[in-house]
Structure 1
Amino acid sequence: MATLHTPTTVEAFREVFASVPDNILLAISFHTSWAAPCRQMNEAFAAIAGSSSPDKAVFISIDAEEVPDVSEEYEVSAVPFFVLVKNRQILRKISGADPKELNEAIQSLSGAAGKVLLAIPPPQQVAAPASSNYDSAAAGGAASADPNGTTDSATADDVELEEESLHERLTKLVNAAPVMLFMKGTPAEPKCGFSRQLVAILRERNIRYGFFNILKDDEVRQGLKEYSDWPTYPQLYHEGNLVGGLDIVKEEFENNEEFLSEQVVPS
Structure 2
Amino acid sequence: MPENMANLLDVTATPEFEDLLKKTGKSLTVVHFLAPWAPQCTQMNDVLAELAKEHSQTTFVKLEAEAVPEVSEKYEISSVPTFLFFKSGEVIDRLDGAHAPELSKKVQKLASSAVGPVGTGNSPKEDLNERLKKLISAAPCMLFMKGSPQEPRCGFSRQIIQIFKDHSVQFSSFDILSDEEVRQGLKTYSNWPTYPQVYVSGELVGGLDIIKELAESGELDNTLPKAVTLEHRLKALINKHSVMLFMKGNKKEARCGFSRQTLEIMNGAGVDYDTFDILGDEEVRQGLKTYSNWPTYPQLYVKGELIGGLDILKELQESGELTSVLKGE
TM-score by length of 2: 0.45
Counterparts of residues 198-213 of structure 1 (less than 5 Å): 206=279, 208=281
Gap runs ≥5 in structure 2: 120-126, 142-169, 174-197, 236-277, 302-329
What residue number does 1:126 align with? 171
What residue number does 2:294 align with? 256
Closer/same/farther in 2, CA of residues 176 and 256 from structure 1, 3 Å limit: closer
Residue 42 of structure 1 pairs with residue 56 of structure 2: no
In the aligned structure 2, how far is the partner of 1:69 from the partner of 1:99?
A: 27
Aligned residues: 182
Residue 93 of structure 1 pairs with residue 81 of structure 2: no
Closer/same/farther in 2, CA of residues 68 and 48 from structure 1, 3 Å limit: same
Residue 160 of structure 1 pairs with residue 198 of structure 2: no
Q: Deviations over 1:74-112 (max 9, x none)?
A: 111100110001233311110111111101101101116
What residue number does 2:73 align with? 72
Closer/same/farther in 2, CA of residues 139 and 92 from structure 1, 3 Å limit: closer
Closer/same/farther in 2, CA of residues 176 and 43 from structure 1, 3 Å limit: farther
* Residue type at the aligned position of 2:51: I
Gap runs ≥5 in structure 1: 141-153, 181-204, 212-235, 239-248
What displacement does 1:208 show?
1.8
Counterparts of residues 97-108 of structure 1 (less than 5 Å): 97-108=98-109
* Residue type at the aligned position of 2:107: I
Larger Rg: 2
Higher RCO, Cα 8 Å, sep 6+? 1
What residue number does 2:249 align with? none
In the aligned structure 2, how far is the partner of 1:83 from the partner of 1:139?
A: 35
Q: Deviations over 1:143-175 (max 9, x none)?
A: xxxxxxxxxxx7xx9831444447x744x4326
Counterparts of residues 92-241 of structure 1 (less than 5 Å): 92-111=93-112, 119-120=134-135, 121-124=138-141, 125-127=170-172, 129=198, 132-133=205-206, 136=209, 159-165=216-222, 169-170=225-226, 172-174=227-229, 178-179=233-234, 206=279, 208=281
In the aligned structure 1, how far is the partner of 2:231 from the partner of 2:41?
A: 10
Closer/same/farther in 2, CA of residues 4 and 158 from structure 1, 3 Å limit: closer
User: Per the alignment, in what secondary structure is the counterpart of residue 93 of structure 1?
Assistant: strand
8 A Cα contact 2:30 2:84, kept in partner: yes
* Residue type at the aligned position of 1:206: L
User: Per the alignment, in what secondary structure is the counterpart of residue 206 of structure 1?
Assistant: helix
Residue 17 of structure 1 pairs with residue 18 of structure 2: no
* Residue type at the aligned position of 1:160: S
User: Per the alignment, in what secondary structure is the counterpart of residue 11 of structure 2?
Assistant: coil
What residue number does 2:10 align with? 6
C-alpha RMSD of the superposition:
3.9
In the aligned structure 2, how far is the partner of 1:81 from the partner of 1:50?
A: 21
User: Per the alignment, in what secondary structure is the counterpart of residue 172 of structure 2?
Assistant: coil
Q: Deviations over 1:102-153 (max 9, x none)?
A: 01101101116578797243332332556645653x776xxxxxxxxxxxxx
Closer/same/farther in 2, CA of residues 161 and 114 from structure 1, 3 Å limit: farther
Closer/same/farther in 2, CA of residues 109 and 34 from structure 1, 3 Å limit: same
Indicate the larger mover: 124-133 or 111-120.
Answer: 111-120
In the aligned structure 2, how far is the partner of 1:47 from the partner of 1:92?
A: 20
Instruction: Decide which structure has greater helix share.
Output: 2
